[in-house]
Amino acid sequence: MRPRRALTLVEVLAATVLLAMLAAACMPMLQRAMRALDEPSPPDAPFELFELSQLADSFLADASAFGVESPSEQDELQLPWPEHPQRPPVSVRRLRAQDTEADHTWLAFSSGKTFIFRWVPVDHNAQEPVP
């Protein structure tokens, strides 16, 4: 008959102590993670990228709704948020191209630390003075 090998009381206690030390070491990290999940975002948090891109797309689709005739001719604009007038306005800047014959120009929409870039076609005929 073969002798049975079992764990001794010392081995069981050592394993229990090691697991307890490991759990105690991980507990502060788990508590910080749980607190971070429960905290609501502050009301003046940076605007979402999605919201800014929607505003930029709606501006390019119908700039007259924002009181602008031609977005490609403005150097800098301040656009209000349609649904949230208490938010700071969105800054729109036209980026100048080195090539004067370019068929488009870039607009940079910024709000806080969030930036969106969109391009708009340029009509060179409309920019020439009429004699």
Q: What is the mean pLDDT of residues 9-26?
A: 95
Token reading at 21: 């030390």
How far apart CA 52 and CA 49 sit, in angstroms, is 5
Q: Are 91 and 111 in contact (CB under 8 A)?
A: yes
Q: Is 85 helix (H, G, I), strand (E, B) or coil?
A: coil
DSSP state for residue 80 in the 8-state scheme: -
- Per residue in 40-65, pLDDT (tens digit) is 655 555 557 888 888 889 888 888 88
Q: Is 70 helix (H, G, I), strand (E, B) or coil?
A: coil
Per-residue pLDDT band for 130 (boundaries 50, 70, 90) equals very low
Which of 33, 30, 40, 56 shows the shortest CA–CA distance to 111?
56
What is the percent of the chain with per-residue pLDDT over 90, rounded to a whole number? 19
In the beta sheet, which residues pair with residue 118? 107
Average pLDDT, the chain: 80
- Per residue in 65-86, pLDDT (tens digit) is 887 777 666 678 888 887 777 8
